[in-house]
Structure 1
C-alpha cells in the first residue's frame, strides 16, 4: 500500500510536497477536486484528486476513501487507472493517479451508440480488467460508463473503486450484504437484499454497460425508481431491432436474473461473440506496478 506522507498545509499551495506542480482544475464533486499536475523531477503528467477531510467527514464516506486506497494500491493492470501515491495534510488527502486524457466513456456514448465491433472492443478491455480484479479478490460494484475512462489511444481504463469490496468483507455464507451501486446498473439479487456474489454482480453491470454501448440507451429505465427496480428484478428489457442475434444471445447470458446460471468471466471469454477479435492482454504486473508498460 502506498505510504501516506504528511506535510504542512502551506506546502500544497505551490509545489505539492515539493513533488508536484498543480495546474488547471479538471473536475470537481461534493468533497473532491481533480487537478492536472506535473511531477517536478520527472516531468510526468498526472492527475491529483484532492479530498477535503472536513467535507468528507460529514458524508460518512471516509471508509470508502480508505478502501479505495487499499484496493487501488494492489491493482496493477493496463485497463485500470494507476494509483501512483497518496499524500496527506491535516485537512486534505491527495490521490496522485494516472492522467487519463480521453475523458469518460459516458461522454462518448451520449453522442450516440457504438458499432457492434467497437462495443466489443471496449467490452474486451472491460472484462480483462474485471477478470483481473476478481482474481485478486476485488469486486468493483459500481461499474457504469461514467467510471470508465479513455486514454489518448482510445483504450478503456476502469476507475473509481470507492464502492469496491474485497474478499474478506464476505459474511460466513460467502456473500456480500451491502446495498450499493448505481440504480440502473444494479443486479436483481442486490435488490432482493439476501446477500450476493460480488463477481456475479459485476458481470450483470458489465451486461448493462454492453447494452448501453451497443444500443445507446439503458436496458432498464423508468422515471419511477420502483418501476425500474421491478423491470430489473424480472429482467424485463428489449433489444433494439438493429442488434444482431449474436449480441442479443450474449446479453441474455449476462443479464440473467438468476446469479447461479449467469455467465462467468471465464465462460464469457470462451463465447463465440466475445472471441471475435479477442486478444488476451499480456503484461508484466511487477513492471506495471512500478510505472512501466
Structure 2
C-alpha cells in the first residue's frame, strides 16, 4: 500500500472495505477494494457469516475485462492492478466520482434511461462475449464517472456462461424466476431478466414485485398477464414509450426459453433508435394524453350542465 495514500473509507465490504486513495505514482484518485484473505478463502464475511462472493472469480473476470487483448470496455469499471500484502488482497480500480446509479433521482426521463441503459447493456454483452455472466446486475452495481457515463462493477457472483448453476444469488428484486425453481438454470438469461428489472425501475422509480416467485401476488399477475397489465393497473404506462414497453415484455418473459437474448436486447429498436427521437415521441405522447384528458373533462362538464335542461325540452326523449 506504500504506493497509495488513503483519503477515506468509501464503503464497507463483505471481506473488508473500499478505500478512496491517491496513486502516488500517477496522481490519480483510485478506489481500492481491500479484503481479508482468510475470510475470502473460507467464503465467510469478516463477521463469520457464510457468503457466496468468490474473490477468485472476481479477480479472474476483472482481469479478463480490464486487461484483455482488446483492452478495457468503456462501461466496465476498470481494475488497474491487484496485489496481496499483509494477509490482505487488494483490487485497485478507477474511481467513479458520480456514485451509484441507485443514488440517482428516479424515475429518469426516457432519453436518460435509453442512454444509461444502452451503456449497461453494452457492458453486459461484452462480459458475455468473454465467456462470463454477472449474476448480480443492479442499480447498486452500476457506478457513474465524472462525465455521467455508466460503469458496471462487482463480479463477485459471476460465473462462466456455459455452466449450468443451482446457486440462488443476487439481490431479491433482480433475481430471475428460474433461480427459485431449484432445477438448475443457465446463467445468461438471468442477466437479461435483471436488466429488465433495472430498466423498469429507471423508468418508473420502483421494482414491480419483491421477488419473482409464486409467493408474490404481483409476480403471479405478471406471470399470467404480462408486465404491461401491471403497469396499466398502476397507472404508470404513460411513463414508458412503446419501444421500451416492447423490450420490457421480452426481457421479463417468465420462461427463460422465451426470454430475449442479449443479442435481441442489443439490437432492439429502443436501444438502436436515435435517443432524441425516442424522447421526442415520449413527450408528444404525454402532450396528447394531457390534451385528451383535458378535452374529456371539458366534455363531461358541458354534458353535465346541458343534459338536465335538454331533458325538459319538447321532443327530447330517452336522455
TM range (shorter): 0.7 to 0.9
Match of 2:7 in 1: 23
Aligned with 1:263 (options 260, 264, 281) = 260
DSSP 3-state at the match of 1:246: helix
Match of 2:117 in 1: 123
Match of 2:131 in 1: 137
User: How many Å apart are 1:54 and its aligned residue?
Assistant: 4.5
Aligned with 2:33 (options 21, 26, 49) = 49
DSSP 3-state at the match of 1:95: strand
> Which structure 2 residue ranges, 5 or more long, are not aligned?
43-47, 66-71, 276-319
Match of 1:180 in 2: 169
Counterparts in 2 of 1:86-105, with a 5 A limit? 86-105=82-101
In 1, the alpha carbon distance for the partners of 2:23 and 2:60 equals 23
**Contact 1:184-1:228 at 8 Å conserved across structures:** no
Match of 1:284 in 2: none
In 2, the alpha carbon distance for the partners of 1:200 and 1:88 equals 35
Match of 1:148 in 2: 142
Match of 1:199 in 2: 188
In 1, the alpha carbon distance for the partners of 2:60 and 2:50 equals 18
Residue 40 of structure 1 pairs with residue 29 of structure 2:
no
In 2, the alpha carbon distance for the partners of 1:62 and 1:188 equals 19
Residue 218 of structure 1 pairs with residue 174 of structure 2:
no
Match of 1:3 in 2: none
User: How many Å apart are 1:192 and its aligned residue?
Assistant: 1.4
In 1, the alpha carbon distance for the partners of 2:74 and 2:98 equals 15
User: How many Å apart are 1:116 and its aligned residue?
Assistant: 1.1
Kindly name which structure, 1 or 2, has the bigger radius of gyration based on alpha carbons: 2
User: How many Å apart are 1:232 and its aligned residue?
Assistant: 8.8
Cα RMSD (Å): 2.3
> Per chain length, whose mean CA-contact separation is higher, i.e. which structure has more relative contact order (CA < 8 Å, sep 6+)?
1
> Which structure 1 residue ranges, 5 or more long, are not aligned?
1-15, 279-293
- Larger helix proportion, structure 1 or 2? 2
Match of 2:274 in 1: 277
Cα 1:194–1:149, aligned 2, differ >3 Å: closer, same or farther?
Answer: same
Of the structure 1 ranges 190-199 and 95-104, higher mean CA displacement relative to structure 2 is found in 190-199
User: How many Å apart are 1:62 and its aligned residue?
Assistant: 8.1
In 2, the alpha carbon distance for the partners of 1:49 and 1:139 equals 21
Of the structure 1 ranges 184-193 and 209-218, higher mean CA displacement relative to structure 2 is found in 184-193
**Contact 1:147-1:158 at 8 Å conserved across structures:** yes
Normalising by structure 2, we get a TM-score of: 0.73
Match of 1:4 in 2: none
